[in-house]
Structure 1
Amino acid sequence: MTRPKLLNRPERRRALLAAAARAFARGGFAATSLAEVAAEAGVSRVLIYRHFDSKEQLYRTVLEQTRDDLMRATGGPDKLEPSSLTALVEFARQHPDEFQLFFRHAGREPDFRAHADWLRVAMTETTQQYLREVLADHRLRAWASELVPSVVIEAILAWIEAGFPQHDRAADTIAAVISGVIEAIGQAGRPDGS
């Protein structure tokens, strides 16, 4: 019988964070016990406590790591641009548990919402900048700027749940949906509605 490879402390911590992301992605913070995280990782709760003081610290660490990984993937909140959509979709494909945890669960949990809010704010500000030439009415631009990040995130979440269909064209499809949203809002602002 082959003994499992023992992991050094940094490797074990990374493995615990990945397992925690998978476990928490299924139900969020409140609905996921530390025992479920331990089972997902194939370790005891005692081993988790050697790395993290509490379930809350573990959850926050997973969210912080996801935030940092998202910043690296997309260029960070100050460098978002249209090509960041492709990077965001690719991140979601490679890290679906982390993406779902970050945007579906943390975004709905008051104690952890701030972790996801920074990217939504950055996406809204970026959208606002790009729409200045397309939508002259500041109220329509504000509406579109708030709507586009929500559409992007929900589209990616739905894409993950559908099993990553057309993964090589997903970013283009989402970009087309965004264009349709912006066009529809722009039409709503025309006096004749056309």
Structure 2
Amino acid sequence: MTSTAPDTPRKRGRPRGSSIDRAILKGAARAFAAQGYAACRIEDILQAAGVSRTHFYRRFSNKDQLYRRLVARHLDYAQRRLRAVPQGFEADLPPQERLRRIIETDVEVAFEAGPFLTVLLRDLGRSEAHADLWREKDAFFLDLLTDMIDAAGYPRPEPLLLAAIISGIEHILVGLTETEIDPEIRRQSAVALIGQLLSALRAPGAGDGSQ
């Protein structure tokens, strides 16, 4: 027998826990990006997120815990997205095309972070209290780029060149994030510039140019 009892009406004006979490994380990302970690206050985060102090402290002990949660969240998302790219490679896909798809995904993921990208790639290293996060970020991108180069079928470059490539990619992404241009032009510019930077990688089977 089918029940004809009406659905219980949802209470209005009381945000669900998951929506509060999202609001705090999004608001904190904007506040940290606008003011930097040191200058940003809990009040700034609350205002940007549109939540109460009670809601905040039910979830986070302080702004450092929230900051670390944000950094970990962005790095985890980038890792999942980028490491999924090679799974879609056809067996006969040329290395150059593999690398292009990886670059496009990298740029897409980076710009999804919005202004918080600058916090991740530049401001994070300015705080001694977050030196561990900076080292973790560097190790993360080193491992990720190495994996992506391997997946594209390119020979792995020397560590010094790899570090220089990572630094160059970060400068390109931060510079374009801070530039007031059309989002599509920003994306295309980032893909082209990073592609030029990665041209330092030798294609598989390429000679050394000697006669």
Residue equivalent to 2:5: none
Secondary structure, counterpart of 2:38 in structure 1: coil
Match of 1:177 among 196, 206, 211: 196
Q: Please point out which of 71, 90, 95 is paired with 2:113.
A: 95
Alignment-derived partner of residue 186 in structure 1? none
Q: CA deviation at 1:53?
A: 1.3
State how many pairs are aligned. Answer: 175
What is the TM-score when the length of structure 1 is the normalising length?
0.73
Matched, 1:119 2:149: no
Q: Distance in 1 between matches of 2:197 and 2:148?
A: 10
Q: CA deviation at 1:179?
A: 4.1
Cα deviation digits, residues 120-172 of structure 1 (max 9, x gap)? 22245347756638x7xxxxx33321111111111011111113551352343
TM-score, with length taken from structure 2: 0.68
Could you report, residue by residue, the CA deviation over 1:38-68 in whole angstroms, capped at 9, with x for unpaired residues?
1111233332112111111111111111112
Instruction: Say which structure, 1 or 2, has more relative contact order (CA 8 Å, 6+ apart).
Output: 2
Deviation at 1:182, TM superposition (A): 5.6
Q: Which runs of 5+ in 1 are unaligned?
A: 136-140, 184-188
Determine which of 31, 35, 48 is the counterpart of 1:23: 31
The answer as to whether partners of 2:31 and 2:40 remain within 8 angstroms in 1 is: yes
Query: Following superposition of structure 1 onto structure 2, how do residues 46-57 of structure 1 map, counting pairs within 5 Å?
Result: 46-57=54-65
* 1:38 has 2:46 as partner: yes
Task: State the percentage of identical aligned residues.
Answer: 22
Match of residue 83 from structure 2: 75
Distance in 1, matches of 2:107 and 2:135, equals 21
Bigger radius of gyration: 2
